[in-house]
């Protein structure tokens, strides 16, 4: 685990110093803060686990360098768009690519993509303020 900020210990915030109120209240506040910190740490660890899982299924530029979180999201977006294009344009992506895609889909366990099937399609206006259409799809070396 990475070293933690020395100035920010689990003992609670600086602003929650003992005041004129009872020491019990201070103790309760400190305990609550520590619990909240622990929950936040756990939540972020879960988020990072999800990023790691995403990195494994997304194309990498190279094997040596790990994609950053931002790069992982961008790559996932491009990858999904590329796959979607293959699915929606069967003439252009005929036999060889299509066979490859079928193989990939066969290898996928249903429970791993069930969440995607339940996902509501985003509307076009949702992307108005994003770089959705500005990011180049990656070259897939199949």
Partner DNA sequence: TAGGCCATCTGGTCCT
Partner DNA sequence: AGGACCAGATGGCCTA
User: Which one among 19, 25, 27, 45 touches DNA, defined by CB under 7 A?
Assistant: 45
- Nearer of residues 6 and 23 to DNA, judged by Cβ: 6
Q: Please, what is the minimum distance in Å from the beta carbon of residue 54 to DNA?
A: 12
Q: Please list every residue from 57 through 116 that binds DNA, using CB under 7 A.
A: 66, 68-71
| Cα distance between residue 103 and residue 138, in whole Å | 20
Residue choice 27, 40, 102, 126 for contact with DNA (CB under 7 A): 40
Query: Which positions ≥6 away from 132 have C-beta within 8 Å?
Result: 77
In whole angstroms, what separates CA 44 from the centre of its chain? 11
**Residues contacting DNA: total by CB under 7 A:** 34
Residues near 51 by beta carbon (within 8 Å), at least 6 away in sequence: 69, 72
Residue from 18, 22, 25, 44 touching DNA (CB under 7 A): that is: 44
Please tell me whether residue 1 binds DNA under the rule CB under 7 A.
yes
Q: Which of 25, 32, 85, 98 binds DNA (CB under 7 A)?
A: 32
- For position 14 contacting DNA by CB under 7 A, the verdict is yes
Q: How far apart are CA 36 and CA 59, in angstroms?
A: 36
Contact 53, 111 (CB under 8 A): no
- 112-117: long-range contacts, CB 8 A cutoff, minimum separation 24: none
Q: Which residues bind DNA (CB under 7 A)?
A: 1-16, 32-33, 35-41, 43-45, 48, 66, 68-71
């Amino acid at each position: 685990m990475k070293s933690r900020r020395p100035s920010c210990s689990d003992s609670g915030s600086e602003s929650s110093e003992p005041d004129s109120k009872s020491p019990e209240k201070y103790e309760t506040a400190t305990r609550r803060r520590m619990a909240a910190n622990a929950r936040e740490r756990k939540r972020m660890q879960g988020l990072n686990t999800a990023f790691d899982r995403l990195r494994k299924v997304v194309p990498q530029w190279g094997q040596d360098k790990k994609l950053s979180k931002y790069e992982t999201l961008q790559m996932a977006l491009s990858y999904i768009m590329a796959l979607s294009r293959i699915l929606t344009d069967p003439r252009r992506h005929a036999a060889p690519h299509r066979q490859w895609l079928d193989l990939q889909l066969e290898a996928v366990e249903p429970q791993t993509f069930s969440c995607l099937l339940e996902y509501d399609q985003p509307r076009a206006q949702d992307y108005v303020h994003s770089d959705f259409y500005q990011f180049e799809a990656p070259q897939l070396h199949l």
